[in-house]
Amino acid sequence: MLHLRPCWYAIRNLITAVLLCLGVWAASPGNTAEPFTAGIVISPPTGWTSEQTPIDFLDVVGLQTKARWRQLYRPPPPTPSTDRPRASFTLGALIADAFLALQAEDSQQFRNTNQDILGYCRVLGLSDKVSPRLMAMAKLAEMSQWADLRQEAVDGQQELARLLTDQRDEDLAALVDLGAWIRTLEVASTLVMEAPELEVRPLCIGAKALLAELQSRFAGLSEPTRTHESIAPIGDTLSFLTRHWDLPEGEHPTPELVAKTHEKLRILMKKLTLK
């Protein structure tokens, strides 16, 4: 069933388009914030700030590419593993999948993904605490209240980070964050592969600042987590991207670099979250 976008979305997209054309940044690069801060912060690819969430970034991608969101869905994940670091990364990827369904305004897909999220939260001992919010979000999706759902989804990420931190699972909180961002970049790289414009190619990594932030978060993991068999490939992929996207000022990424980036992200996400 097709749904008309609420007026909020139309107004948001109009304002965003004007800001992008004028090159106005919605936040100062010097600001700092915790991951998944609520609010819409729309910037060009080179203007990423730490206040921008994965769903904000998908807004940018949708404005600069011909995004057919529903074609980017993935198969359901496997039964949650008892490997908590890997389960945390997969949970982050599922959060990005929920954001993807939200962009597509696909109520059924969003609710299906919510059920998968609950299963992975159960492995981390969080199911009882997150269940009420997930049920509320499913209801909002059922009623096609997309603007409210967007805010609730972002707030849910803040809550999840707090819950894991309260359990002294800071590494797992960081891995959820990494999973959400890397899955988002995989989505972006898929769309960039189909886009002829030179200007959209940096969307593969969001921005050098984002890539540096993700590397910093990975480096901040404890050594046992960082060297864990299922987690080490994340660091290898981030290091590859950092090396190959360190381009001289004014030099555009080549189609070959875009294709290689997409393949690296695709293989990593398949290995860690779909097998």
Query: 204 lies in a domain?
Result: yes
Extract the tokens encoding 246.
């360190």
| DSSP tag of 50 | T
CB atoms within 10 A of CB 204: 27
DSSP helix/strand/coil, 44: coil
Query: 1 lies in a domain?
Result: no
Query: 2 lies in a domain?
Result: no
Question: Full-prediction pTM beyond 0.95?
Answer: no
pLDDT tens per residue across all 275 residues of the chain: 333 334 434 334 444 443 333 333 333 333 333 333 333 333 444 456 778 899 999 999 999 999 999 999 999 999 998 899 999 999 999 999 999 999 999 999 999 999 999 999 999 999 999 999 999 999 999 999 999 999 999 999 889 989 999 989 999 999 999 999 999 999 999 999 988 888 899 999 999 999 999 999 999 999 999 999 999 999 999 999 999 999 988 888 999 999 999 999 999 999 999 98
Q: Burial level of 104, CB count in 10 A (0-12/13-18/19+)?
A: middle
Query: 224 lies in a domain?
Result: yes
Range of the structural domain that residue 257 is part of: 7-274
Question: What pLDDT score does 195 carry?
Answer: 86
Question: What pLDDT score does 212 carry?
Answer: 93
Query: 134 lies in a domain?
Result: yes
Spatial contact of 176 and 88, defined as CB atoms under 8 Å apart: yes
Query: 43 lies in a domain?
Result: yes
Question: What pLDDT score does 13 carry?
Answer: 44
Instruction: Count the domains in the chain.
Output: 1
Question: What pLDDT score does 87 carry?
Answer: 95
Query: 15 lies in a domain?
Result: yes
Query: 84 lies in a domain?
Result: yes
Question: What pLDDT score does 47 carry?
Answer: 56
